[in-house]
Amino acid sequence: MTDAISLLPLPDDIPFSVGSMHFVNPLTAMGLVQRIKDNKSVAAIQTGAASQCGRMIIKLCQMEGIPLINVVRRDEQVKLLKEEYGAEHVLNSSTDTFFDEIKELAKKLRATTCIECVGGPITAKLMDIMPPNSQLAIYGCLSEKEYDGFDPLLLIGRNITLRSFILGEYLQSQGIWIIKTMRKAATLMNDKTLQSTIHETFTLSQIQDQIGKYYKTMTAGKMILCPHDDDPALQSGAEFEPFDIKDCQTE
């Protein structure tokens, strides 16, 4: 059960596989771009930029005319974002020169909001290189590592703030304006501006192999679980080997 205001109509030409991603990432991307605007930042940084959410943020910033410094961890992702998404600034965090390059670019563009979803040591290092009076908005922790290395004196001296973002709180904070936000989201999703790439669909009986595959090829797109009536995994008595999700991760 849910209330009507939480529902989005699915147009006839959008398949269920695409419709299954019609809510969380698109609205998160919109909320994060709104955060950049609320902070009155004339430019921004985002990490995990080759994620589906990151690609939506690229498109929204292009529409809003907000220069965006995109951070990825592999050269293939630099190529993807530049060639297929028209991203102007894409930096690979795995290079030795990364922090020098991003510091200079953030200063030049006056990128005073960083939307950050990687976590671990990169978070504190980004706060160290951001211009004074910046905000780092954490909305994910893809590395599954703890934050460390914060230098309180640097943060105090340059008035750097750390704030979280969570979709539910963003939607609640909209109040009555949520209707306008949902309408805008539906338009952008239906015209494919905010659509995710699907890598593969799979059935319930393939889930163990597919989760491992997803962890190894996240940038390739979403893996959609589509159980069918004749899926053996839905038959009574089906048994699976227990597995630990950590075995599937690449690092």
Ligand X SMILES: NC(=O)c1ccc[n+]([C@@H]2O[C@H](COP(=O)([O-])OP(=O)(O)OC[C@H]3O[C@@H](n4cnc5c(N)ncnc54)[C@H](OP(=O)(O)O)[C@@H]3O)[C@@H](O)[C@H]2O)c1
Rule CB under 6 A: which residues touch ligand X?
Answer: 24-25, 28, 48, 50-53, 73-74, 117-118, 139-140, 142-143, 165-167, 218-219
Q: State the residue number with the nearest CB to ligand X.
A: 140
Which tokens go with 122? 């990169």
Q: Which is nearer to ligand X, 167 or 225 (CB)?
A: 167
List beta partners, residue 138: 116, 164
CB of 218 to ligand X, least distance (A): 4
Residue with tokens 């849910």: 2
CB of 88 to ligand X, least distance (A): 19
CB of 30 to ligand X, least distance (A): 11
Q: Which is nearer to ligand X, 204 or 220 (CB)?
A: 220
Q: How far is CA 97 from CA 80, 91, 93, 228, in A?
A: 21, 10, 8, 49
Q: Which is nearer to ligand X, 110 or 215 (CB)?
A: 215
Q: Which is nearer to ligand X, 139 or 202 (CB)?
A: 139
CB of 35 to ligand X, least distance (A): 11
Which tokens go with 210? 């597919």
Contact (CB, 8 A) for 57 and 32: yes
Q: How far is CA 154 from CA 131, 151, 171, in A?
A: 11, 5, 33
Contact (CB, 8 A) for 36 and 6: no
